[in-house]
């Protein structure tokens, strides 16, 4: 883009976000770059980049650029007969005026978000709560003031960060407008957590999760069926259910383990020091986790990795972001697992 256009419209966007914050669902606002921990042996994200906390001034400049795009599209949309609203005609008119926008990394994302109602935001990258509290509060306040249509803001967070932040600071962040935190639990078993170099114990996960709830956040915890392999599947299943039951988050989301090329766990598999569960083995582990789980939130299979199918070849679980309400639908989930186990093993 030419310098004048770049100055007015340029903003930075990261790559990763939860599926529930993808597509036109959420505006992606980058507060940090990459992951401050970045040692998990199963993960291939952020491995080539250094972690950085962006300055408040830099983040506000991005928000201003997004607002400028919104305002200029709305002005051109008004000339097309739709005053005050962003329309397809307004976007086309702005691109006609500045063809460089065809190559803008975040223009399409912003445009579709505005068309969808501009309601939700996801703060990138891996752990926005690591920012100094006063800076994060400043950004949240500015973001909501600039886009008053926002009804929900979410972010990834590490259990250890949540545990270490004073409760007063967490409540200040919540009051400033951060509504939901997504936390990678992965496992509740200390042996598995140590093997994958998660940087958190089961107790840290429990304390961090409870503190997030005490601060008033909606809490979404992710766990990885199959992460213990054949050697540790029972401990992984029962201890994960125990930790999740002690936290009792609003959402529990399944992300079945798959080897990521180039990661230490992929090398362990190649060297046969880690033996992965079969699809049926994962379902038996999942059955044990669900049988042991005692929560009042929702259990979700909202990811393509939850690939198990029933005897008719249909997906075993709904991929809805709202999932299944527990304990009311616990039996329905267990019944679906049994249905999956009845499918011939070669087709699971």
pLDDT of residue 347: 65
Gap between the Cα atoms of 176 and 140, Å rounded: 6
Question: What's residue 17's pLDDT?
Answer: 87
DSSP letters of 192-207? Answer: HHHHTT-S--HHHHHH
Which among 218, 31, 51 has a CA at the least distance from the CA of 138? 31
**Percent of the residues in the chain that have a pLDDT greater than 70, as a whole number:** 95
- Give residue 82's pLDDT: 59
Which residues of the chain are modeled with pLDDT < 70?
1-6, 23-24, 79-84, 346-348
**Model pTM score:** 0.92
Q: What is the pLDDT of residue 22?
A: 73
Nearest to 246 by CA among 201, 197, 309, 196: 201
> CB count, 10 Å around CB of 233?
23
Please answer whether residues 202 and 163 qualify as being in contact, where contact means their C-beta atoms are separated by less than 8 angstroms. Answer: no
Can you give the residue ranges of every domain in the chain?
A: 10-64+117-347
Q: What is the pLDDT of residue 6?
A: 61
pLDDT tens readout for residues 27-62:
999 999 998 899 999 988 887 778 999 999 999 999
pLDDT at 46: 82
- What's the confidence (pLDDT) of residue 149? 95
What is 10-64+117-347's CATH number?
3.20.20.70
Give the Cα separation of 288 and 276 in Å (integer): 17
């Amino acid at each position: 883009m030419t310098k004048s256009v770049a100055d007015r419209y340029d903003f930075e966007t990261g790559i990763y976000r939860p599926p529930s914050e993808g597509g036109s669902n959420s505006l992606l606002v980058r507060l940090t770059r990459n992951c401050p921990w970045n040692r998990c042996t199963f993960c291939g994200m952020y491995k080539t980049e250094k972690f950085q906390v962006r300055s408040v001034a830099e983040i506000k400049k991005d928000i201003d650029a997004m607002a400028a795009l919104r305002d200029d599209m709305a002005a051109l949309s008004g000339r097309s007969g739709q005053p005050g609203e962003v329309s397809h005609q307004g976007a086309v008119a702005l691109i006609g005026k500045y063809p460089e926008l065809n190559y803008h990394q975040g223009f399409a994302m912003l445009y579709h978000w505005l068309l969808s109602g501009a309601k939700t935001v996801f703060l990138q990258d891996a752990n926005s709560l690591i920012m100094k509290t006063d800076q994060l509060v400043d950004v949240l306040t500015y973001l909501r003031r600039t886009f008053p249509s926002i009804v929900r803001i979410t972010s990834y967070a590490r259990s250890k960060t949540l545990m270490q932040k004073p409760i007063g600071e967490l409540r200040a962040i919540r009051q400033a407008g951060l509504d939901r935190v997504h936390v990678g639990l992965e496992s509740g078993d200390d042996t598995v957590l140590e093997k994958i170099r998660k940087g958190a114990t089961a107790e840290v996960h429990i304390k961090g999760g409870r503190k997030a709830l005490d601060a008033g956040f909606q809490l979404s915890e992710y766990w990885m069926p199959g992460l213990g392999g054949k050697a540790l599947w029972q401990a992984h299943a029962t201890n994960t259910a125990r930790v999740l039951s002690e936290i009792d988050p609003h959402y529990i989301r399944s992300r079945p383990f798959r080897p990521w090329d180039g990661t230490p766990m992929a090398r362990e598999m190649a060297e046969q020091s880690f033996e992965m569960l079969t699809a049926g083995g994962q379902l038996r582990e999942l059955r044990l986790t669900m049988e042991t789980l005692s929560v009042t939130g929702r259990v979700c299979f909202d990811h393509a990795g939850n690939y198990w199918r029933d005897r008719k070849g249909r997906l075993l679980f709904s991929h809805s972001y709202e999932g299944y309400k527990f304990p009311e639908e616990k039996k329905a989930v267990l019944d679906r697992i049994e249905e999956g186990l009845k499918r011939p093993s070669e087709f699971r």
